[in-house]
Structure 1
Amino acid sequence: MQVGMTLPVMEPDLPSDLAGILEAWSRTIDAGPFSSLCFGERMAFDNPDASTLLGAVAAWTSRVRVTTTVVVPQLHHPVLLAKSLATADQLCRGRLSVGVGVGGRDEDYRVVDADLGTKRMGVMADAVATMRAVWAGERVADAVRPVGPPPVRDGGPEILVGTMGERTIRHAAGWADGLAGVTLAADAAEVEALFRLARDAWAEVGRAEPRLTTSFWFAVGDDPRGQVHRHLRHYMNWLPPDLVDALAATAGFAGTPAELRDHLKRFEDTGCDEVHLIPTSSDLSQVERIAEIL
């Protein structure tokens, strides 16, 4: 099983030197034993723009897979998003993996004037189909030339669907390459059941086994549970604080690096291809300590 690391783009304690901390994290992840460097997007929040960050990360790294976990196609024009992602794929020389999802926050739709009626799997699947048509060099409009640049890999980057449930998996089995899952409680048994469902769904439509990835929050060091709690209070700002407080008591992993290593072994036993760890602090020592135990 491979282990990827998420950049701290959703943190409450990001320093004023955003470029400095993200570059330091990117170079450390690229130099370490990690397989992927990941980050997602939100609109009504203070995180950096995902498309812009893809270009920076491509310049800061040379080895790791660069993974979006996740972007929401309905918040973008699909042709423009296809062009942005193909450009990123060229800049990182084919290391791009694209996680897509419908998103869980209505405010992200409202702030860019996206129709809330498009917050559906079918609409997202249509957007992905348009992106793949662009990547294949098809003319998606009356233009002299198709939209470029072409991605490095024929057919474009792999597409992983962000999901936590059965309905999404069954819908995505016909068009996605795998899962970009998340487990709120860092529960290996829960993930194993989801993976079993995905394998069955892909088999039912006659496709090869999907690539199976999942993610969870983590904290190691002093007061790890408190660290997770502070992060979720900031990140889950659309939920009532008392609900977030209740969730934070068991969300993610909070413990020692050695305990995290044992916890990851349980995910490996599920047949997971890759776990994407989500930090709850921008302190670079977090990623360094995980690199040591891997």
Structure 2
Amino acid sequence: MDIGIALPTMCRGYDRAATVDWCRLAEQGPFSSISCGERMTFHNPDMWITMAAAAALTERLRIFINLSVLPAHPTALVAKQVATMDVLSGGRVTLGVGVGGREHDYRSLESSFDRRHVRLDEGVADLRSLWAGEPPFPEADAVGPACVQPGGPPILAGALGPKAMARAAKWADGVASFSVAGDPAEIAAAAQAARQAWSAADREPPRLVGGCFYLLGEPEPGPRLREFTAEYLAVFGSATRPFAEAMPTFTTDAVNRALDGAEDAGLDEFILVPAGTSLTVLESTIELVNARG
């Protein structure tokens, strides 16, 4: 199983130095990909610009957009952004797409929250049409540049429930799931649900990617991880606080349990999403991954 690393863009204090230092050190390390996610009404930097910087700062790592809330954006704009990133990276982009769970992000983009699942299905079809060179409307020119990867980058679905999985099985190359606390049972259940959905759609088994929050290499990692998780989930209300207070993935044993669970579930890749910006976090993660062999 490959192990990817996310940039700590959701952490307070993320800056230029973190971008440069994390990309350069991760490029040398044992990771398969570098990634970050999208939120609008939060303190994080823009995902697209950050991932473009990562594409320029690396040569080997897969550039994983994890993930774009596709229905909140004009599809042609996303098609151009992804194609441009594919060119900048020399064909290393993987695109994750989903509907997201935060209506505030849609509202801030002046986009409707309605019919978002249908709009996701339609948006993916439009992306592939645009990457194939089809114009967005009859009298228009094509939306360029041409992707380096024939047909465009692989598309993974950020699907959770059975309905979302069934829809994604019609158009996605795989699934990008997430277990906030790195729970092995939750990871295994998501993998099984994806395999069943792809089998029901009479398709080859999907690429399976998972992930979790964690923190290593900083003082008082438990309280820091729990506060990070609480802040990230605050948009969903105070009921998420007890969950944040129970976050376990701040020791090497706990992170290894999550990775072992992902490996046992047959995942192709697992993304570690850090709760701290210090380079010691990345150094500790490299040490852990190397120790796994």
* TM-score (normalizing by structure 1): 0.93
CA offset digits 1:86-108 (Å, max 9, x no partner): 00011001110001110111110
CA offset digits 1:192-249 (Å, max 9, x no partner): 1221221121122221110000110001243222111121233223133x42320112
Distance 1:232 1:25 in 2: 21
Does the CA contact (< 8 Å) of 2:159 and 2:168 recur in 1? no
**SS of 1:236's equivalent?**
helix
- Is residue 2:85 matched to residue 1:97? no
Q: What corresponds to 1:10 in structure 2?
A: 10
Alignment of 1:35-50 (within 5 A): 35-50=32-47
**SS of 1:207's equivalent?**
coil
CA offset digits 1:57-106 (Å, max 9, x no partner): 11111101011111111221101110110000110011100011101111
Give 1:165 shift. 2.0
Alignment of 1:21-100 (within 5 A): 21-100=18-97
Does the CA contact (< 8 Å) of 2:188 and 2:261 recur in 1? no
**SS of 1:214's equivalent?**
strand
CA offset digits 1:35-61 (Å, max 9, x no partner): 010101111122111222222111111
Q: What corresponds to 1:113 in structure 2?
A: 110
Unaligned runs of 5+ in 1: none
- Is residue 2:168 matched to residue 1:162? no
Does the CA contact (< 8 Å) of 2:248 and 2:254 recur in 1? no
Q: 1:236 to 1:144 in 2, by over 3 A?
A: closer
2:192 is aligned, of 191, 196, 214, to: 196
1:224 is aligned, of 221, 233, 253, to: 221
Does the CA contact (< 8 Å) of 2:131 and 2:146 recur in 1? yes
Distance 2:163 2:247 in 1: 23
Q: 243-252 or 108-117, which moves further after superposition?
A: 243-252
Does the CA contact (< 8 Å) of 1:163 and 1:182 recur in 2? no
Q: What corresponds to 2:128 in structure 1?
A: 132
Counting aligned pairs with the same residue, the percent is 35
Distance 1:286 1:197 in 2: 32
CA offset digits 1:167-211 (Å, max 9, x no partner): 211110010010110012311122212212211211222211100
Does the CA contact (< 8 Å) of 2:36 and 2:65 recur in 1? yes
Q: Which amino acid aligns with 1:265?
A: D
Q: 1:212 to 1:92 in 2, by over 3 A?
A: same
Q: Which amino acid aligns with 1:61?
A: T
**SS of 1:253's equivalent?**
coil
Q: 1:29 to 1:284 in 2, by over 3 A?
A: same
Distance 1:192 1:235 in 2: 24
Unaligned runs of 5+ in 2: none
Q: Which amino acid aligns with 2:282?
A: V
Alignment of 1:129-278 (within 5 A): 129-143=125-139, 145-221=141-217, 222-240=219-237, 242-251=238-247, 253-255=249-251, 257-278=252-273
Does the CA contact (< 8 Å) of 1:4 and 1:275 recur in 2? yes
Distance 2:79 2:140 in 1: 18
Distance 1:44 1:26 in 2: 25
Distance 1:251 1:126 in 2: 37
The alignment covers a number of residue pairs equal to 288
**Structure 1 vs Structure 2 CA RMSD:** 1.6
Q: 1:251 to 1:167 in 2, by over 3 A?
A: farther
Does the CA contact (< 8 Å) of 1:30 and 1:61 recur in 2? yes
Q: What corresponds to 1:282 in structure 2?
A: 277
* TM-score (normalizing by structure 2): 0.93
2:287 is aligned, of 282, 289, 292, to: 292
Does the CA contact (< 8 Å) of 1:67 and 1:97 recur in 2? yes
Q: Which amino acid aligns with 1:267?
A: A
